[in-house]
Structure 1
């Protein structure tokens, strides 16, 4: 019997697992139940559930008319906007598999993920920050939308007149998003099995380069239901702020899928921007605001916060990175809302555990697991054995939201799963403890990944770029503490004698070849770098030095 069968602080029972369904059914059912309820708001323009469902069906019909559907992999290279929601559910309704692409990606990163995922169709916008970048990736059929078509009339006119420089010239051969919406609704959607692949969501796993986590319709729909089950409040008052990017698995589950399932309203912002967030909360009487710790820090640091009415906020969920207790306390005091910490991975469709919304919980912990989710600690050195009693162990997770596999990587899949009691358990790479009440705490990381504002950065990618510079002999990248972002990358290198470069030049070169969230704060040149007894470069000494500097 699971510990959480008898000691569970979330609403309902731990073993009450949501029933899986095809992902488009989340929207279809809410549209049938409350067709005129507000579904989306984007910069002042609103859509009801009936309107969104109609556009989703038309988008799916437009895809089908152009031979796009089952067997096709469709990419989304979009910020938070109505195009994302329509394309997300519409492509799934057509039977296609989706892939999220971060708007922060460089051309090289896009090209690699397109090739790995087999993406052949990409949905994007005609803005200069996106279109010229994705247009450089060969082999893609582009579906291009524009912001004026989803803005309120006056804002649309203003955008067309005043922001022409922000719109790129689109190739005549590209499909236009608006033209797909002129199609008749998809008449006979293909039958979708809940075990069909819905989404390839790229992640670093526990080691190495990004890998595509294969998430099924069952994985995603169940995780949306699990997160929804955490909320004890009635469904009528549910207005959620969508400032986190939907291409990130945390927002994809907690903001998009969970709210669509519940029938709430999503107030979308293209990105997290302080002025817009502070204006949206009182205007829409936002009740929930998922975010990462850096977002709550930025809000507290804003001089405009004192003039903002936050009284509508009820619950804020923090994920993506550890939540400092002083930040939690300060935000709760200022806002009057509960700020609870949760935990999840891309491989778990987004969420594994969370502290209770209604009160209680354990400060500094990641809470208790979601319904139907089991957590087990295994020996840090031998995952085939349980962790010794009373000692931290590697966190492993079993549950219906756990991914099917890594796309095209049987070896990596085998490495990340272990078998126990006839079930598959996902190795998280994190070390934790479980107390007598079933609350889990993360105490260490087995992985070297750096978490920048909730986004994972892989040191090996930055190191590879540095190693390609003539004169660089050794390179190590670590995460150093950052008050706003949680961590930022910092590189350490040694140079060959007489090398014609320095730290500033290397920093400029490195940051020109990575995404915005991957940019390093410094490249420090040293005479030597720490090594292990067998001669491997060692990060731990550098990490200790930087932590000591931060503490001082």
Structure 2
């Protein structure tokens, strides 16, 4: 059988990402701070994000001849200018491929070459990897730029080259263009094999953001979000970086996870909404240092990327009385398919990952390909420059094979 969302269908926004995330449905002021570096305290207001990203876009066009459809790569841990580079590239009509900064040079070079990247913005800490990879990918030194404000080995900060006085009018898209125009190119191994570029269109991302807005995610201008998950991952790109803007929230950006910084940031900024992964919860449960901090501002933690065991969720709740809820998705699905009802916390079911988002349909198949019904366990049913891998994960009805084992109960709650 086909399982449908309990939520009514929604109208998917028919615009590009930049216009959607800056549409400001909550009417926040341009003076509101939306991104804060949790270590240094440096921040960007909503108005500054728009202004700086449009100047970055102009610099790409004027100084590097960057054209609509060109690809820019970001290789960096989380840091305060990440949103400016990402959104500026989108405003210029480009595509962004986001790379794990811990990649070896050969891995980064493969992504640069496979994605067709012509510009690389790299964090100074990883400049050696960036240099080697860019040489292998034949990206000239003039198109390899740094975060920060220091020149290193002849490689210049992007601000010294790209940020001038001109700002552009962001590229706009017709509804049809938004559906077919690639915006983000994150890389994933999928269910098997070598890393593959996932072509996510403007509509893929705007649709997922609109689905979350309509699925009781309980985010808005009141929300202060923990930005600890890596922004190169689509989970963070969609839910955290872009989600902050469309909800009018505030994001505290941290470069990496450690218990002390995690606790200090919650206590200092009164963070109330946290996206995490199960290994973070496990570290917090096992490290007594976390008890040194006031976590009372936190209303909930939403986990994803891997299953959260009932035992770990219960242990965390017993320690801090903060509920942990699970979302589910994949890079290929932009990413979220299911999201917990965070308004009605009592409706959360142990081991569940919540109902399907609006407009989402799913089916379960047995090992021999038969469609399954409620409470039956079965398989929960595209890549750049890899048609064979793309064809292998879609069935004749257009359903994507996640590779995960799941069941669905009569309330439409997914267990995975």
Q: TM-score, normalised by structure 1?
A: 0.69
Deviations 1:392-412 (A, max 9, x none): 22101xxxxxxxx31111111
Q: Report the secondary structure of 1:113's partner residue.
A: helix
Secondary structure of 2:198's aligned partner: strand
Structure 1 equivalent of residue 231 of structure 2: 246
Question: Which of 161, 164, 167 lines up with 1:185 in the alignment?
Answer: 167
Distance verdict in 2 for CA 1:332–1:228, change over 3 Å: farther
C-alpha distance 326-379 of structure 1, shift in aligned 2 (>3 A) = closer
- The separation in 2 between residues aligned to 1:109 and 1:219, in whole angstroms, is 26
**Deviation (angstroms), 1:30:** 2.9
**TM-fit CA distance, 1:46:** 1.8
Is 1:133 aligned with 2:129? yes
State the alpha-carbon separation in 2 of the partners of residues 188 and 216 from structure 1. 16
2:395 counterpart of 1:418: yes
Moved more, 20-29 or 45-54: 20-29
Instruction: State which structure, 1 or 2, has the greater radius of gyration over its C-alpha atoms.
Output: 1
Moved more, 72-81 or 361-370: 361-370
- Please state how far the C-alpha of 1:242 moved relative to its aligned partner: 0.2
CA contact (8 A) 1:75 1:121 kept: yes
Compute the RMSD of aligned alpha carbons: 2.2
Shift of 1:307: 2.2
TM-score scaled by structure 2?
0.90
What is aligned with 1:549? none
Of the structure 1 ranges 332-341 and 67-76, higher mean CA displacement relative to structure 2 is found in 332-341
Measured in 2, the distance between the counterparts of 1:18 and 1:337 equals: 33
1:431 alignment partner, one of 390, 396, 405: 405
Please give the alpha-carbon distance, in whole angstroms, between the structure 2 residues aligned to 1:389 and 1:308: 43
Judged with a 3 Å threshold, the aligned counterparts in structure 2 of structure 1 residues 178 and 39 are, in CA distance, closer, same or farther, namely farther
Cross-structure match for 1:58: 55
Q: Identify the residue that residue 378 of structure 1 maps to in structure 2.
A: 365
Cα drift, residue 190 of structure 1:
5.5
Q: Give the number of aligned pairs.
A: 402
Q: d(CA) in 2 for partners of 1:274 and 1:140?
A: 38
Q: Paired residue for 2:17, among 23, 33, 52?
A: 23
- Over 6 Å off, 4+ runs: none
C-alpha deviation, 1:417, in angstroms? 0.4
Indicate which of 408, 415, 424 corresponds to 2:385.
Answer: 408
Instruction: State the match for 2:109 in structure 1.
Output: 111
* 2-structure distance, mates of 1:427, 1:273: 35
- Alpha carbons 1:71, 1:97 under 8 Å: kept: yes
CA, structure 1 residues 118+146, in 2 after alignment: closer, same or farther (shift >3 Å)? closer
Greater RCO, 1 or 2 (C-alpha within 8 Å, sep 6+): 2
Counterpart residue number, 1:496: none
Q: What pairs with 1:63-462 in structure 2 (closer than 5 Å)?
A: 63-65=60-62, 66-127=64-125, 130-137=126-133, 138=135, 139-141=138-140, 142-147=143-148, 149=149, 169-171=152-154, 174=156, 176-187=158-169, 189=171, 191=173, 193-195=177-179, 196-231=181-216, 233=218, 235-357=220-342, 358-359=344-345, 360-382=347-369, 385-387=370-372, 391-396=376-381, 405-420=382-397, 424-442=398-416
Preserved contact between residue 418 and residue 426 of structure 1 (Cα < 8 Å): yes
> Cα deviations across residues 270-305 of structure 1 (Å, max 9, x unaligned)?
111221111000111101110000111112222222
Give the superposition deviation at 1:197: 0.6
**Pair 14,108 (structure 1): closer, same or farther in 2 beyond 3 Å:** same
The runs of 5 or more residues in structure 2 that have no matched partner are: none
Contact 1:20–1:218 under 8 Å retained in 2: yes
Structure 1 residue 20 displacement after superposition:
4.0
Deviation (angstroms), 1:47? 1.4
Superposed CA offset, 1:167-222 (max 9, x none): 882325x5633431224111463646312110111111222111111100000111
Distance 1:389 1:299, change over 3 A: closer
Give the direction of change, closer, same or farther, for the CA distance of 1:260–1:143 in structure 2 (3 Å limit): farther
- Specify every segment of 5 or more residues in structure 1 that has no aligned partner in the other structure, as ranges: 150-166, 397-404, 443-552
The 2-side partners of 1:313 and 1:386 are apart by 41
Other structure's SS at 2:353 match:
coil
The 8 Å contact of residues 30 and 49 in structure 1, kept in 2 or not, is answered as no
